[in-house]
Amino acid sequence: MVSARGALFGVVLLCLLAPPGFPELKTTAELSTIAAATSVGGAFCFSGSAEGRLTFQAEASREVKGLVEIDATVTPGSMPEAVFEVPRAYLKARFPWFRLTAGKTRLSWGAGFVFDAGDVIFGGMTPYLDLTQADPRDKTAWLASVYVPLGDFSFFEAVGLPLMPPQPGDPSGTGSPYFPFDSLNAGGRAVAGLTGITLEAGYLYSGGRKTHTPYLSVQTSLYFDLYAAASLGIPESGATWDELSGSLHVSWGLYRAFDLGGPGDLSVRAEAAFVPCGEWGEISGGLPAGSLGYGALVFTDFTYAPSDAFAASARSLLSPVDTSGLVLLEVSWQAFQGFWILVDGLAMFGDDDDLFGWGRDADLAFLVTLRYRF
């Protein structure tokens, strides 16, 4: 998060650093206004906000490119009223034998849209997601990575991070720009594209959390695109299997887009996250704060698009152990070029002490979003 003055200075500086003769600086913008009616304390309350994103992308040559994104959120009545963030700011350079990336960006390790046990950097097992977002897990972090191609669909990638992205239950950081060497994080992955199957194996050491985390991932395509991943967090100090078993995470998923011809297209996605040695019995009084949920979570997404301008989707996030869940229905209409109208309805079900539940704040919400991309 940065101040409004700092964000404005960054935009001006970026424009000044692109003099005539410099490669074309491509600028895109997206502006959304949101009106929401949310159940709070048993009564509906209304709120509104505006969100904007500016993206600056330049290519000095085929070998070098840079990108900066600046997000702004304006919420009337909040303090501060405007919040600025820089979710991405990175450089990429392509050398003859490898590719270098440095800055704030995202790496996609493992396989999965919502649940991904192989995403040992950003975490892919949390139930705390905003299903109204196109990508509910769009997290970034400061990092440097080296990508070495090894053939068709095969490569090796090494990464180093000064700070791990925060996870639910993590203590708040100090905000210091200095990091001791023993708190740094590093790892790598190898991906092999074989006939009909992609295998991925990786490892990450977290100096801040003092853990070693290996993982495996596999992807293939039969009638559906199928993918699965598993990871295990091992404390640096060592542990017995009974102590390790709770950090064994497994995820799987499937996806297929059906071409219905004249009536349009239908896409289907289903994913599940498992903690095999986690909590498989409902806890009276609810889960402790910061918990990743019970031993199983299920996500589904059905999207029907009768044309390029219309789409209707139904997403759900379910906790089978305590039979609670969250359901989102959305209709989108591209009324004009670059202009969308989105209507969302969200509802929870379950008991008050379940992972999701009726009778708590935000158990029912309706949103109308106007979005313009130019």
pLDDT attached to residue 282: 87
- Report the C-alpha gap between 111 and 229 in whole angstroms: 7
124: left (phi over 0), alpha (psi -120 to 50) or beta: alpha
148 Cβ contact partners less than 8 Å away, ≥ 6 residues apart = 97, 98, 99, 155, 156, 157
CB count within 10 Å of CB 328 equals 19
19 Cβ contact partners less than 8 Å away, ≥ 6 residues apart = none
Q: Could you give the C-alpha distances from 49 to 26, 76, 343, in angstroms and in order?
A: 27, 7, 15
Backbone angles phi, psi at 272, to 5 degrees: -140, 145
pLDDT attached to residue 4: 46
Task: List residues bridging with 31 in a β-sheet.
Answer: 52, 372
Residue-wise pLDDT tens digits, 78-96: 777 889 999 999 999 999 9
Residue 7's H or E segment, with its range, is: helix 4-16
The per-residue DSSP string of 200-215 comes to: EEEEEEETTTTEEEEE
Q: What is the DSSP letter of 111?
A: S
Predicted confidence pLDDT, tens digits, the chain (374 residues): 444 444 444 554 455 445 554 557 899 999 999 999 999 988 899 999 999 999 999 877 889 999 999 999 999 887 778 899 999 999 999 999 999 999 999 999 999 999 999 999 999 998 888 999 989 889 999 999 999 999 888 999 999 999 888 766 555 454 567 778 888 999 999 999 988 999 999 999 999 888 999 999 999 999 999 999 999 999 988 777 777 878 899 999 999 999 887 788 999 999 999 999 888 888 887 777 667 778 999 999 999 999 999 999 999 999 999 999 999 999 999 999 999 999 999 999 999 889 998 888 889 999 999 999 99
Q: Estimate to the nearest angstrom the gap between the alpha carbon of 61 and the chain centroid.
A: 30
pLDDT attached to residue 12: 46
Residue-wise pLDDT tens digits, 3-42: 444 444 455 445 544 555 455 789 999 999 999 999 998 8
